[in-house]
Chains A and B, each alone.
Chain A
Amino acid sequence: MPTTPRSPEGRPAAAPVMPIRTPAETALVEAFALARERLPGDPDVRARAFAPLEKGLPHRRIEEWKYTDLHALLREVKPLAAPPDAAAVKAIRKGGLPLGKAEAIRLVLVNGSFVPALSDLDALPAGVEVVPLGRALAEGQPWLARLGEAGAPADNAAVALAAAFAGDGVMIRLAAGAEVERPILLAHVQQGDGHAAYARSLVIAEARASATLVESHSGPGAHQTGSLLEILAGQGASLRHVKLQGEAAGTVHLATLAVRLDAAAAIDSLVVERGAALARQQMFVTFAGEGARAALKGVTLAGGIRHLDTTAVIDHAVPGCISTEQFKAVIDGRARAVFQGRINVAPRAQKTDARMVMRALMLSEGSEADLKPELWINADDVQCAHGATASAIDEEQIFYLAARGIPRPEAETMLVEAFVAEVLDAAPEAVRAAARALAATWLKERD
């Protein structure tokens, strides 16, 4: 992963740019010095995780951050959240989770801390083990050794932030052959005015295990939230992943999903991004065994002055794996949606099948879409395809609906719903209503 732009010949294009530290970058270093002693686990491990941030935040001259210049966009650093008080827990129990107890196995993190009282630890089905990360870090736990194995790049700023600052999260082990019917909900809820909250979670799916993981992010306030979810999918394991990002309008949200797939394993992911002022969802998928499959889907709904970034990197490191990516963005107001998708095909990864489609629907003059497909193909017997389009709403379709009496706002809503339906309808049954609700409320709020 290059950290300075390079000329086509591969030489550094210019001397590395070392901008002066911004107040936020200085505050980040100070915040880490304080947190390092307070957070559970080995302080030296945290220091190593934080090391890439000593140099500052990534800026636009670093290609992967060209469209999401954290150095410029992150203006302040919020204080690390304290664990939630009883009132906050009570408020969430009354209704702050997207799925009820009957619908999901709920594991709840409030302000970055795991809250057993809100979680369904007593109702775990056979083959599912859950250990809160905070406890594992404090007491020591063999699964900790597997953190970092999923392929999330340690020098990536969002990964480093979560690894350095996360005091809690959940570690889940799915036993070999376990078929978990009910989705496992990882709910990240914020309560308070403005704080920083980071969570790190790990899913170890043993051979042939299958489960659905749902991540949700919600809660009022203007926060800085970060999450790092690592999934290790053993041979033939099959996982579905849904993320519902409904952060409050003032929040900065930096999240990473890293998945390592052993032979014949599969991941199906759907990310719905609609909240936050600034958000970046990163996905790193590594094919480690042959015959594995990854399908990544996403719907980004960006309104107002939001900046929503989706960055996916798929590493076809071994032969015979299939990846499909389908991302759609609807952009309104003065919002900006970024989609970067990179597909790496290693020299030995023959018979790779990789397809990526990104489509942006622009609803306003001031909206912006930055679509960047990248294919790095080093094998010759592969099928790789990509497509990227950005278009306005179809005025012919609007006229057809108008000619049937349907007013423009309602017609636009119908067309936007139609645009995203194809992706949202792919959500697992148990989560489809929640995914659609995120889109529906977004559409309602734009009127």
Chain B
Amino acid sequence: MLAIQNLHVRIPDREILKGLDLDVRAGEVHAIMGPNGSGKSTLASVLAGKPGYEVTAGGATFEGEDLLALPADERARRGIFLAFQYPLEIPGVANMTFLKAAMNARRRGQGEKDLTTPEFMKQVRTSADSLGITQEMLRRALNVGFSGGEKKRNEILQMALLEPRLAILDETDSGLDIDALKVVADGVNRLRAPGRAFLVITHYQRLLNYIVPDAVHVLSGGRIVRSGGPELALELEERGYADYAEVA
């Protein structure tokens, strides 16, 4: 589903990814772990199509097509979803208006008709209830006045409604207390499906107690330096990232 080969990415003043390789197949959950500054969020941003990153070598394909040639909105319509580490607040845009625009954009991308208002309302209510998102939160402006946990739950709500093929979770666990973490993890686990893959980016092993991955990769110095099963996450929790300190 996602194949990344020898990916080199730089921002104006330095190179961040230095030859990253990764293969994710449909139905799999891959965790990317690594110390701060190893390039985890850059990887998420580049895959989602955020401007400001220059790919200097290598590439990535999504379902066989050159992913990096597509604009961000096109990637999203094809089924790539990025759950933001810091979801944006957009004053004046109602959460519901935003959700409807996003769902209809995704549907149009798949050649489907726009949702009717009752269909939309029903889908939103069902998903929102399971994530403990109140009607009041849905009526508010997008993420405005939301707590950190509410913002993350709102991200998972969007993911549930957009039914992505590949979901990238960028440090979704950051800033969450244990209860919120469980709600978010349950939300993700409900969406696990044979046709859907997840890339779970995290600094801590904690999240992986709830979202059990098929594979764990250690990102350090802009490359994947080690890959293994779920047990690798436990090892990292115990020993830290010291073994993977970037060689200057």
Contact = CB atoms under 8 A, between A and B. Distances in A.
Interface of A: 395-397, 399-408, 410-411, 414-415, 417-419, 421-422
Contacts of A407: 73, 105
Interface string B37-66: 000000000001111000000000000000
B158 A397 contact: no
**Most A CB atoms within 10 A — which of B49, B72, B76?**
B72
Contacts of B92: 415, 417-419, 421-422
Contacts of B84: 400, 403
Contacts of B93: 414-415, 417-418
Nearest to A407: B73
Interface stretch (B96-104, B114-122, B207-215): B96-104
Contacts of B106: 404-405
A404 B88 contact: no
A399 B49 CA distance: 8
B91 interface: yes
Given A396-B88, A400-B87, A402-B72, A414 B82 contact: no
Given A408-B73, A410-B101, A403 B48 contact: yes
Contacts of A402: 49, 71-73, 76
Could you say which interface size class chain B belongs to? 20 to 34
A329 to B, nearest CB: 16
Contact of A403 (B49, B90, B91, B109): B49
A403 B73 CA distance: 6
A399 B51 CA distance: 8
Interface of B: 48-51, 71-73, 76-77, 81-82, 84, 87-88, 90-93, 97-98, 101-102, 105-106, 109, 141, 158, 162
A417 B239 CA distance: 51
Given A415-B90, A418-B91, A403 B101 contact: no
A408 B51 CA distance: 13
B88 A406 contact: no
B58 to A, nearest CB: 22
15 contacts: A395-B51, A399-B50, A399-B51, A402-B71, A403-B73, A403-B82, A404-B76, A405-B162, A406-B102, A414-B93, A414-B98, A414-B101, A418-B91, A418-B92, A421-B92
B152 to A, nearest CB: 14
B239 to A, nearest CB: 35
B77 A405 contact: yes
Contacts of B162: 404-405
A401 B91 CA distance: 13
Contacts of B73: 401-403, 405-408, 411
A402 B80 CA distance: 11
B88 A405 contact: no
A414 B109 contact: no
Contacts of B141: 418
Contacts of A411: 73
B49 A414 contact: no
Contact of A404 (B51, B71, B91, B105): B105
Contacts of A410: 101, 105
Contacts of B91: 418
B85 to A, nearest CB: 12
Contacts of A417: 92-93
What 6 A-B pairs have minimum CB-CB distances, sorted nearest first?
A418-B92, A405-B105, A405-B76, A404-B102, A402-B72, A402-B73
Contacts of B50: 399, 403
Contacts of B158: 404
A399 B72 contact: yes
Given A410-B101, A419-B92, A403 B76 contact: yes
Nearest to B102: A404
Contacts of B81: 403
Nearest to B168: A403
Contacts of A397: 88, 90
B172 to A, nearest CB: 14
Contacts of B77: 405
Given A397-B88, A410-B101, 19 more contacts: A399-B51, A400-B87, A400-B90, A401-B90, A403-B48, A403-B82, A404-B162, A405-B77, A405-B109, A406-B76, A406-B101, A408-B73, A410-B105, A414-B93, A414-B97, A414-B98, A415-B92, A417-B92, A422-B92
Nearest to B84: A400
A389 to B, nearest CB: 14
B108 to A, nearest CB: 8
Contacts of A422: 92
A268 to B, nearest CB: 21
A395 B83 CA distance: 18
Contacts of B97: 414
A403 B72 CA distance: 6
Contacts of A403: 48-50, 72-73, 76, 81-82, 84
Contacts of A418: 90-93, 141
Contacts of A401: 73, 90, 98, 101-102
A443 B106 CA distance: 23
Nearest to B83: A403
Given A397-B88, A400-B84, A406 B48 contact: no
Contacts of B90: 397, 400-401, 415, 418
A396 to B, nearest CB: 6
Which of B51, B93, B102, B109 neighbours the largest number of chain A CB atoms within 10 Å of its CB? B93
A73 B101 CA distance: 42
B51 A405 contact: no
A407 B70 CA distance: 12
Contact of B102 (A395, A396, A405, A415): A405
B48 to A, nearest CB: 5
A411 B49 CA distance: 16
Contacts of A396: 88
A400 B105 contact: no
Contacts of A414: 93, 97-98, 101
